[in-house]
Structure formats: structure tokens, C-alpha cells
Amino acid sequence: MNDFDFFIGSWTVVNRRRTTMFDGSDDWDVFPATSVSRSILDGGGNTDEIIFTAQGWRGFTLRLFDLERKEWSLYWASGRTGLLYPPVVGTFTGGRGDFYGDDTYDGKPIKVHFIWSDITATSARWEQEFSIDGGETWESNWIMEFTRAG
């Protein structure tokens, strides 16, 4: 239940986001952000709001720990669309978090994988990858490198 305690607080973020998907391109946009994460429900969950100042939008994550199943559900909401996306669900093992879910991309079903890794007291890495073939192959499309602020 305390897997995300490392993330509570303020962060600066370097984002790398793929410009196009599933076309063989390896072009990435790089841009900054800031993030603040807070604990909720006596540690049974947490939130973070990330501000992409240069892009002019924000995102919000809600993470909830299922006490019975001993796993996390992570929900992302985009300030660009006003939508809450389907959750990814998973756990931490050996200092790495893997979370999987189903979504759509360009109207087609995809698998989604979030990875939390390289976690220290002052840094962490988040990566998102998509699969269009049911999880046989994955394409990374967004990487965030977090550094603790202040």
C-alpha cells in the first residue's frame, strides 16, 4: 500500500513524447513540466497534477490501492480533453511497477503499459508504451524523468 510514497511531493519533469505512433518514426518532442503529488485516504491512494506550461495543458492522475487484490489502479485525466481514461492495473516487484490496461488509439483497441522504474529519494522514471498486437510487441511513446523539486 505504500508503493507510491516515494512520489509524494513536488517534482520537475523532463518529458520525451513520440510525435507519431506505429509508423517506424523515432522523432520525439522534449518539453518540461512540474508535478505535485499528494497522499489521500490515509495512504490508500494518491493524486498528482502535472502542469505542461509550454504546451498550455495539465494532466491529473488518481492512484488507488485495492486492499483485497493487493494491486493498484491508475487513472489518468487529460486537461486537453476533459476525459478520464480507462485504468491500468498492476503492482510493484523489486522496485519496479508494471501496470497494464486496455484503451483505444485512432479508434482501434490497444494494450497500454505504464512502467515506474529507477526510483530513488530524488528521482524516478515513468514510461508509457502501447501495443497494437495484443501485447506481442510494444512501442514506447512517452517517457517522464522526475527530479525532486526544492
Task: Give the model's pLDDT for residue 6.
Answer: 96
CA–CA distance, 88 with 101 (Å, rounded to integer): 4
**Domain extent for 24:** 5-148
How many Cβ atoms are within 10 Å of 2's Cβ, its own excluded?
A: 9
Task: Give the model's pLDDT for residue 1.
Answer: 84
Assign residue 22 the CATH number of its domain: 2.40.128.20
Task: Give the model's pLDDT for residue 67.
Answer: 95
pTM comes to 0.94
User: In total, how many domains does the chain have?
Assistant: 1
CA–CA distance, 74 with 85 (Å, rounded to integer): 9
CA–CA distance, 112 with 87 (Å, rounded to integer): 9
Question: Which DSSP state fits 150?
Answer: -
CA–CA distance, 123 with 78 (Å, rounded to integer): 24
Exposure pattern of 8-47 as b/e (b: 16+ CB <10 Å)?
Answer: ebebebebeebeeeeeeeeeeeeeebebebebeeeeebbe
Task: Give the model's pLDDT for residue 92.
Answer: 97
Which mean pLDDT values do the consecutive 10-residue runs of the chain (150 residues) have? 94 97 94 97 95 94 97 96 95 97 95 98 98 97 96
Burial status of residue 145 (CB atoms within 10 A of its CB: 0-12, 13-18, 19 or more):
middle
